[in-house]
Structure 1
Amino acid sequence: MLAAMIAPELDLAADPADLTAALIDIASVSGSEGPLADAVEAALRRIPHLTVHRDGDAVVARTDLGRAERVVLAGHLDTVPLPTAPGARGTVPSIWAGAGGDRVLYGRGATDMKGGVAVQLVLAAALTAPNRDVSYVFYDHEEVEADASGLGRLQRNAPELLEADFAVLLEPTDGTVEGGCNGTMRFRITTTGRAAHSGRSWIGENAIHKQADVLARLAAYEPRSVTVEGLEYREGLNAIRIGGGVAGNVVPDTAHVEVNYRFAPDKSPEQALAHVREVFDGYELELTDLSPAARPGLDRPAAAAFVAAVGQEPKPKYGWTDVARFSEMGVPAVNFGPGDALLAHTDDEHVHADAVRECCRALAAWLTD
């Protein structure tokens, strides 16, 4: 029992790809990040040039060298649940495939985002005198509802630990800088009618049929492409769930459709909500989730230097990530990490060893050049 409580020891001097495998082998589905957080904290506390803080299952390690700028490298420790399909390789423990230098690593979190976390840990140990002060932020509960976010908890409990001039979130981007992110909101539209026996349907009023107008508006909607600070963001307005009815012989008296709106960072949450209210004029919208967009902030000196160090044309982030939380705090942020985001959460989630190494090299060059 005692051995099971001891955090596995992580070797931060290891090849970042091998460290990724070690991180995958410590299962950390959302809500069960404790053992991995313990291991990360223990490894970081052995490094003399860092000051380490723990808040729940979030860990922050910082340099304090008096540099003119401070940057954040952030990543979440949790993963989505393990796959259940027979033969799935994106599970725990990790599996190596291939031979030679660029092997492929399979396992839950390989892409999202233990490869990025491994890069953070290697840099935290190796960069004793970076050209900017660095805050390495590892947090829990990213893959679940926003209210449970470990980063949000840090923002409430110790906001000073997140203060910076620029932040890099090591979400998978296939080694390309993705600036900012779209915002997201979900809302429900309910229609009502009058129940009746379906054999005498003329007595009732079918609530599902009333959704036809809502669906027609969605089908006719033309989403915009919006250029923000040189990056083109694509919006989307889509029905994601629909329901209604209680039995096979009853005209339903209620029906609902849930809609997801992905909006570009030229809009505030208030402006986004005003837009969908205009689209669905005449209907009451029940807002169920809302997260703001984030502007890319690539005009900031630290961001420009980072883009130059990576050496690739930046792209927009269409999905939502925690760069939006940093943006809310006044910290411009980008996404940059190893792995293809399309592989995240899949049964065969994997990352190439060289992708992890290249990400580590790019960030090291930016922080030492």
Structure 2
Amino acid sequence: MPLLDPSAGPVALTRALCDIPSVSGDERAIADAVEAALAAHAPHLQVVRDGDTLIARTELGRARRVAIAGHLDTVPINDNLPVRDEIDPETGEACIRGRGTVDMKAGVAVQLALAVELTDPAVDLTWIWYDHEEVASDLSGLGRAMRHRPELFAADFAILGEPSNGTIEGGCNGTLRARVTLTGTRAHAARSWMGVNAIHRAGLLLDRLAAFEPERIVVDGLEYREGLNAVRIEGGVAGNVIPDRCDIEVNYRFAPSRTAEEAAEVVREFFADADEVEIVDLAPGARPGLDAPLAQGFVAAVGAVPTAKFGWTDVSRFSALGIPAVNFGPGNAMLAHADDERVPVAQIESAADALRSWLATAG
């Protein structure tokens, strides 16, 4: 089992965590390593394991509790491990390059280093490291642990270590996928007038999608950008047959001002002339949560103006529990999943400094 030394600091810990391969579904080794590090270095934490998800809690009797979470898994490796140190060609900064540096083992390293270091924080803490984030949401280790042990997730505020360039990104957009079906009538292609071409019908719908102008919606002071896009299309029977069916998969990213049900209704109305609209995946967004007293203190500690998180993240799961939650972690989300994924060393250190400073005085 790889050995992790949280006392080495978050930068060294980022390298060590990234060099433990943990593609979704293969998180056992990294979860074992994190659990061993906590057992060896953090007697002040009560640790519970659910599959490859770890929940480590302080029980200091503080008036408020903060949950801080990060996922252990990555997308597949593509000749980008082990990590290496380099100078960013665009910014000139010292960086660590390799799979998982941005999404999101630098954030996990900050969390693990502070979990061991902070024995007397101003708030009680619940540290969470979980599996299966980069795959279908129903496989999420965070969701599973919340179902199995809901009492462990009670908190007044939550921070998710998703890459945010070391600034705060409030809430997140919701996401919806739908299968839109157009039907027709089969016929021989030599006598096409005898049939109705479902793919041609889909063309009119695709034109309407291409002309769609997404809304920009301000929620609690942050501007979210929506999007409605075709992401997959299937149709056709044979090279000499007029097709009688065409399916278009669409993705709708909706502002957290809309409920999941309202988002589904927007999609159904937009495709009202289709023969069928089936919602196949739906996850609500999360409001920014910046009006919570703990959030305001955290914003002051980070010292940068918060922005909206456009992508969906697991802050939504905390929001569904009534816990205000924000995204905060080192790394540029635009580099997540890229083969040249890289995180600035200085950003890892500054994220750790800001979180450490705030946790010492929050409450």
Query: Normalised by the shorter chain, which TM-score bucket?
Result: over 0.9
RMSD over aligned Cα atoms: 1.4
Structure 1 letter corresponding to 2:316: A
Stretches (4+) displaced over 6 A: none
Partner of 1:11: 5
Counterpart for residue 51 of structure 2: 56
Give the aligned partner of residue 323 of structure 1: 315
Structure 2 residues not aligned, in runs of 5+: none
Q: Please, which moves more after superposition, 219-228 or 165-174?
A: 219-228
Q: Cα deviations across residues 166-216 of structure 1 (Å, max 9, x unaligned)?
A: 000000000110000000000011111122222221222111011123213
Given the alignment of the two structures, is residue 97 of structure 1 paired with residue 86 of structure 2, yes or no? yes
Deviation string 1:55-87 (CA, Å, 9 cap, x unpaired) is 10000111111111100110000000112xxxx
Q: Is the 8 A contact 2:180 2:271 kept in 1?
A: no
| Equivalence map 1:125-164=2 (5 Å) | 125-164=116-155
Give the Å deviation of 1:17.
1.1
Kindly report which structure 2 residues correspond to 1:215-234, keeping only aligned pairs within 5 A, or say none: 215-234=206-225
For residues 116 and 362 of structure 1, what CA distance do their matches in structure 2 show? Answer: 13
Whether 1:65 and 2:54 are equivalent positions in the alignment is no
The farther-off stretch of 155-164 and 245-254 is: 245-254
Deviations 1:107-149 (A, max 9, x none): 1100000000000011001111011111110000000001100
AA partner of residue 169 (structure 1)? L
TM (norm. structure 2) is 0.96
Paired amino acid for 1:207: A
Contact 1:217 1:279 in 2 (8 A): no
Q: CA deviation at 1:220?
A: 2.9
- The residue identity in structure 2 corresponding to 1:282 is D
Structure 1 residue aligned with 2:31: 37
Matched ranges for 1:162-241 at <5 A: 162-241=153-232
* Farther-moved stretch of structure 1 (237-246 vs 309-318): 237-246
Tell me the equivalent position of 1:4: none
Count the aligned residue pairs: 356
Listed as ranges, the gaps of 5+ residues in structure 1 are 1-6
Residue pair 1:72, 1:137 contacting (<8 A) in 2 also:
yes
TM-score (norm 1): 0.94
Residues 278-297 of structure 1 mapped to structure 2, 5 A cutoff? 278-283=269-274, 284-297=276-289
Shift of 1:102: 5.5
Confirm or deny that 1:27 pairs with 2:21: yes
| Paired letter, 1:235 | E
* Percent identical residues: 59
One of 58, 82, 89 as aligned partner of 2:77: 82
1:284-314 Cα distance to aligned partner (Å, 9 max, x none): 2111110001011101011000001000000
CA distance in 1, matches of 2:39, 2:94: 31
1:353 aligns to what? 345
Helix, strand or coil at the partner of 1:72: strand
Query: Is contact 2:83–2:99 with CA below 8 Å preserved after alignment?
Result: yes
Aligned counterparts of 2:241 and 2:96: Cα–Cα separation in 1 = 53
| Paired residue secondary structure (1:354) | helix
Q: Which residue of 2 aligns with 1:3?
A: none
Aligned twin of 1:341: 333
Corresponding residue for 1:269? 260
